[in-house]
Structures are given as structure tokens and as C-alpha cells.
Amino acid sequence: MIVYKKISNFSPGLIENLLKTSYKRLIDYFPNEKEKFYHEWENEDCEAFNNPDTIGEYILFSCLDNNPIGFFSWDDRKYPLGIIGQNCILPDYQGQGYGRNQIESVVKIFQIKKFHEIRVVTGDHDFFIAAQKMYINCGFKEHRKIKADLFNLIEFSRQI
């Protein structure tokens, strides 16, 4: 059974390592971008662990037998619009419903806080097809496409 744990239960570097492992196949598509991705993930990790009462407060780790297998994050500063940030599951645990469980959990967080809409962005690239399908299966609809440098993005939205 999945248990969600706060950032205070873990050491810095965990977010970065989960992202590096989970996005390895994406890095394989874009090897010249590896250092850029790694730098972004290192910064994301540092920001979260250095600010556990602000940024870190909006991150939960999914754990099986006390071992983190993924994490998700959200931003509720734009009420009544909620933003889902990362939704990361380690490859060995993908396709088993854990990512969907994370999304359903963050949707509940926004419902409890009486948000009206939730948005999430994912890539418009083969690597992200499973994520796109998952968001659709969780009740999200494509809201818009966003031009980006490496690959385009798709923003999904859901009314609640």
C-alpha cells in the first residue's frame, strides 16, 4: 500500500535522483540536453529541501515499504486555479496505477480547498504519451498546446 510522506522525512538529493531515474529514457532522446536537465533537477531539489515550509510543503513522496517510488507537487497560489507540478514514478513502478493515484490525491487536495479548476502540463513527445493518457483518464481535457524549444507542451485542465 502506498503511503505519502512529507519532505521532512528525507534527505536532499532525493527529488533529483527520482527525476534522473524516471526521465532516463527522455534523456536518451536528447543526450545533448542531459546537463541542462540535470541542472534543473538539482535546482528543483535544492529549492524544495532548502524551503521545507514553503516549496517543500507542496511535495509528497509516494512510498512502498518506506521506500520512495515517486513524488508529486502542486501549487495553490493562484486560487481558484490549482497547478499540478511534477508527477514522477520510478520506471519499475510505472504502469501500475501509482501515477494515477498521485493525481487523484492532488485533485482531492484541490477539492478540499474549494478550487474550481486544475491545470497540468506535460510534453507533446512520445516519452509523455502514457502521462497524456493518464491525465485524460483522470478527467482532464486538452486545454492548449504550448510552443517550446526542445519539444512542445500540452496543457490539460479539469473543472472541479
- What CATH number should be reported for the domain holding residue 140? 3.40.630.30
Q: Taking residues 27-35, what's their average pLDDT?
A: 96
Contacts of 46 (CB under 8 A, 6+ apart): 12
Containing structural domain, residue 125: 3-159
Q: Are the CB atoms for 91 and 121 separated by under 8 Å?
A: no
**Domains held by the chain: number:** 1
- Quote the cell numbers at residue 62: 509516494
- pTM of the shown model: 0.94
pLDDT band at residue 23 under the 50/70/90 scheme: very high
- The answer, yes or no, to whether residue 1 has pLDDT greater than 90, is no
Alpha-carbon distance of 150 to 148, in angstroms, equals 6
Strand arrangement, sheet containing 153-159: 3-6, 59-64, 67-78, 81-89, 117-123, 153-159, 141-146
Q: Are the CB atoms for 70 and 96 separated by under 8 Å?
A: no
